[in-house]
Structure 1
């Protein structure tokens, strides 16, 4: 996300200040969710870490749930801006899937990228708006990956096998497992994320 540039000689508009405040709070909340989960998230600590008062936080977000939902949507958009765009921009289905595997490993080196993993585990099996928002995000990514798998099978680049929807979930799970356990192991995380993707997709390494 690009923050607004100063308007005039080092001056920000009210909208600019609001955008910067919102960004700082979202980022601090993402770090807090990654470290502590939703249940243990303390809004006073979030506001303090972002450099704002609790009042500033409540001026933008009604409560913890609304803030966490905003983080989920922000992270989904961030992932698509940085990595998921390859799902539509790369014309070759196989290369798109492998590029997303590599890009996901790099993206997940940032602490905030682990939020969705943390929340999915925390809300698994629970009827809760945050769990539903995370599920919708995962479903969107899985659907995009399944589309590419189906396209790759039409060309013969991806061998026949389980249904594309099931294979897409396995592909995402394999990548997620690599980036969780290899956090901080640069550049091996990228190499092994691609290797995991190739294995699940039954591709012969070149």
Structure 2
């Protein structure tokens, strides 16, 4: 993964190390790169969808595709590695995760307000379950393209308590 970051930045791996004061600064920059890449590839799909359920399903499909590459593992690994620690890298990873949960929570609330998502657990709890189910699905389905995309979407739909229609699946 570091080689990919270096190549995208126009550096060799060795030259990349010289651009940072230490491993912590490099880890923070790499995490920022992963999150920016996610936003360009997945976040934009979510933003294009006017309906909250469609946005959450687009996130599921896009995240599955995003996670087919090794770059996605880094953010998850850092979040797990630094969980519960007061460390700059851990805080950055947790902040990005909290932002994703907040975005999902807003979509759940909007979906409930429109009647597209049925009542149930609190919106934050449901948002945590959506992200957890999505992460679990894509990690477990690594190397199973194109089925990972379809099954990630189904996992999110199931957590939301909605049924995918043939029309929904044909829209993909």
TM-score class, shorter = 0.7 to 0.9
Q: Is the 8 A contact 1:25 1:57 kept in 2?
A: no
Answer yes or no: is 1:153 the counterpart of 2:112.
Answer: yes
| Alignment partner, residue 51 of structure 1 | 12
Q: Separation in 2 of the partners of 1:82 and 1:72?
A: 15
1:202 maps to which of 161, 164, 168: 161
The answer as to whether partners of 1:87 and 1:144 remain within 8 angstroms in 2 is no
Distance 1:140 1:110, change over 3 A: same
Find 1:65's aligned residue among 24, 29, 34: 24
Structure 1 position 111 matched with structure 2 position 89: no
Q: In the TM superposition, what are the counterparts of 1:171-182 in structure 2 within 5 Å?
A: 171-182=130-141
Does structure 2 retain, via aligned residues, the 8 Å contact 1:98–1:197? yes
* Counterpart-to-counterpart distance in 1, 2:17 and 2:76: 26
Normalised by the size of structure 2, how large is the TM-score?
0.87
Gaps of 5+ in 1: 1-23, 30-49
Q: Is the 8 A contact 2:17 2:26 kept in 1?
A: no
C-alpha spacing 1:128/1:192, structure 2 compared with 1 (3 Å): same
Question: Residues 117 and 58 (structure 1 numbering): CA distance in 2 closer, same or farther, change over 3 Å?
Answer: closer
Query: Any idea what the Cα deviations from partners look like across 1:146-195, whole Å, max 9, x if unmatched?
Result: 11111110110000111111111110110000111110101111111011
| Paired position in structure 2 for 1:47 | none
Structure 2 gap ranges (5+) = 166-172
Q: Distance in 2 between matches of 1:28 and 1:179?
A: 26
Q: Does 1:27 align with 2:18?
A: no
What is the root-mean-square deviation of aligned Cα atoms in Å? 1.8
Structure number with greater Rg is 1
Change (3 A) 1:76 1:180: same
| 2:56 equivalent to 1:97 | yes
1:81 aligned onto 2:59:
no
Q: Is the 8 A contact 1:90 1:96 kept in 2?
A: yes
Is residue 26–residue 70 contact of structure 1 (8 Å, CA) maintained in 2? Answer: no
Structure 1 residue aligned with 2:81: 122
1:28 Cα deviation from its structure 2 partner: 5.4
Q: CA deviation at 1:51?
A: 3.1
